Chain A
Amino acid sequence: MSALEKSPEAAGGTPLMTLGGVSQVFDTKAGPIRAVDNIDLSINPGEVLCLVGESGSGKTTAARMAAGLARPTSGQVAFDGTDIWSLKRNDFTTFRRSVQYVHQDPYASLNPTRTIQQTITAPLFKHGVVKSKKEAAERAAELLTKVDLTPPENYLSKYPHQLSGGQRQRVAVARALTLDPKLIIADESTSMLDVSIRISVLAMLGRLRDDLGVGFLFITHDLAIAKYFGWRGKTAVMYLGRIVEFGPTPKIINAPTHPYTRALIDAIPEPDPDLTKTKGRESLRSLEIPSLAHLPSGCSFHPRCPQFEDGLCDGAIPELTTIRSGQSAACHVVARDGVPGVGEGGHPDGPGA
């Protein structure tokens, strides 16, 4: 049913991680909330998958399910081809070590009572990676060097409160690297950092991606960051718990097909004022984001969508269908008519390539 399963990359070798028809429903007093509704994703070894969406779109819930921190209400989370929730204890431990998570808030993700060295060496000791204290200290120094905290001796004996936000986030990344993971889930990992720090942390992550061959599930609300980090990977755009568009990052940025993605791209300010004027923004019909507890019928974007067609869009939930090679969108109108505006020069090269 999903366009992903047909994609050539997934057809060869086993993907590192697949989310198949995964949903997460939270029961609340206001009724069930479908935080994540039937999404399919797959990440190949060493690949970057960006998950983009606004607040409340279910990005973090999806990431937590991928990390095995939350059990999906329905659907399957598979690692190396096997459902993680059917794994035996030992195999689950292997999965745990292979998938690491870098949290959004570096002020909350490091234990304030432990020094950086204690934080980094604890997993090394626990899993027998190192034998002696000396070896552990060397390994910790090595990891800190990898995340650009040099010289490492300056940081090892520090407590988190003595470090800046960017330094803390680097420590969190170093900790995620301790057990040589195959996949790192970065949940808005740079969103709490200053802009100047953000770019250097992103550059550091990019280097790890290239040097260590680690796969990334990179979650962000900022398309510019997805563009910067995931240019060679893929991007999935989420809206209210569903994936509305999926494809290689350059295509999503430069030639978006789904009206929601187009609105997101249009909302990015251009440095060139002339370009901004000619950009031809499509205005949304409403700026209000519907509540997850009372999702609109049919396509959940229809109350805001500029291409809304009565009777079509509020009827059935659109499925993710291939629009162009490798790029798929969940939109009735686009699936029927193709992409409007293409050929009118609406989106030349995306934002400041």
Chain B
Amino acid sequence: MADATIPVSAVGTTGVSRFAGILSSLRRSPAGFIGFIIVALMVLITAIVPFFLPDVTPNVKEILLPAGSPGHLLGTDNEGKDVLIQMIGGGRTVIFVGFIAAAISTALAIVLGSLAAYLGGWVDSVVVTLADVFLTVPQIVLLAVMGAFFKLDSPLLLALLVGGLSWPVLTRAVRAQVFSLKEREFVEAARLLDLGTIRVVFVEILPNMASFILMNFMIGVTNAIYQLVGLYLLGLAPLSGANWGIMLNRAWIAGAIFNDASLAWILSPILAIVLLLLGLVMMTRSLEEILNPRLRDR
């Protein structure tokens, strides 16, 4: 998406100065910068730190230890596995699936929505009808059915499934925006210069809604993460390995909320998810400034 939204300028800006510019715009909004740091830290930690941590092993002697126990900062679960280590390692699938699924649905929405609006006619009818069909199907039920038929153990497959189901809302929003943007005079000027449909749509029109799309991408990431965690919580995806969703599922089934000692067990994945989503939403603010030349120059 970055390629479409920040077209490389012909001269004047080198890669280095552009990067420096992005960094300085990031710092301009304190909330955005904090969000950026939260997300960056969480991604780094979940990606790298697990390699340096011991594997969690079931230990019958140490089940359901409360938070603050020696050697187990956040206690242990009902198999005696350390909660902190699980929490640190449990973000990988969730973050991966969240971003990939949102990227898939955003890409679909951009292409389908803008072409439907710009070309109109039968293209528009087909896209809108398709979007309506997908919108009417209850997704969690569909996911449940799919879960029964396919083995959803690959994160990529999960991302495809979640992303492939969540494009219609953004598609219709993009379509509505392009409908209004395509009547603008600079689009007419581009058409008069015969710049070509693809160029007019993706270079002239879309960058004008870059921050709108980016916001929706972030919302898409949060939605995808909620859906994924929901799938795990309901036990519709295979519960092999360890991630925040699986932790939640196991803690929930084990009745962790009724046990004071295991509160940290069920709260830690929730905390991790909330922190990540908060960081994502805060980050959008800064990204908006990078993409909008009007805000950038202030």
Residues of A within 8 A of B (CB): 67, 69, 93, 96-97, 99-101, 103, 105, 108-115, 117-118, 121-123, 126-127, 133-134, 136-137, 156-157, 159, 161-162, 172, 175, 178-179
Contacts and interface: CB of A to CB of B under 8 A. Distances in A.
Contacts, number: 94
A192 to B, nearest CB: 12
Interface size of B as a range: 20 to 34
Contacts of B11: 117, 133-134, 137, 156
B185 A103 contact: yes
Interface in B6-33: 7, 9-13
A109 B293 contact: no
| 8 closest A-B pairs by CB | A113-B207, A123-B193, A109-B185, A111-B186, A108-B185, A157-B12, A159-B293, A103-B185
Contacts of A118: 7, 9-10
Contacts of B10: 117-118, 121, 133, 136-137
B62 interface: no
Contacts of B186: 108-112
A69 B294 contact: no
A178 to B, nearest CB: 7
B194 A156 contact: no
Contact of B297 (A159, A172, A178): A159
B195 interface: yes
B294 A97 contact: no
Contacts of A126: 193-196, 199
Given A96-B194, A126-B195, A109 B189 contact: yes
Interface string B169-210: 000000000000000111011111111100100011001101
Which of A69, A99, A105, A115 has the largest number of chain B CB atoms within 10 A? A115
14 contacts: A69-B188, A69-B191, A100-B192, A108-B184, A109-B188, A111-B186, A111-B204, A113-B207, A114-B204, A123-B193, A133-B10, A157-B13, A175-B193, A178-B193
B181 to A, nearest CB: 10
Contacts of A103: 185, 188-189
A203 to B, nearest CB: 23
Contacts of B13: 157
A303 B68 CA distance: 93
Nearest to A115: B9
Contacts of A127: 194
A93 B191 CA distance: 10
A69 B192 contact: yes
Contacts of B193: 96-97, 100, 122-123, 126, 175, 178-179
Nearest to B195: A126
B12 A156 contact: yes
Contacts of A122: 190, 193, 195, 199, 203
A133 B9 CA distance: 10
A162 B293 CA distance: 10
A101 B194 CA distance: 12
Contacts of A121: 10
Contacts of B184: 108
B210 A67 contact: no
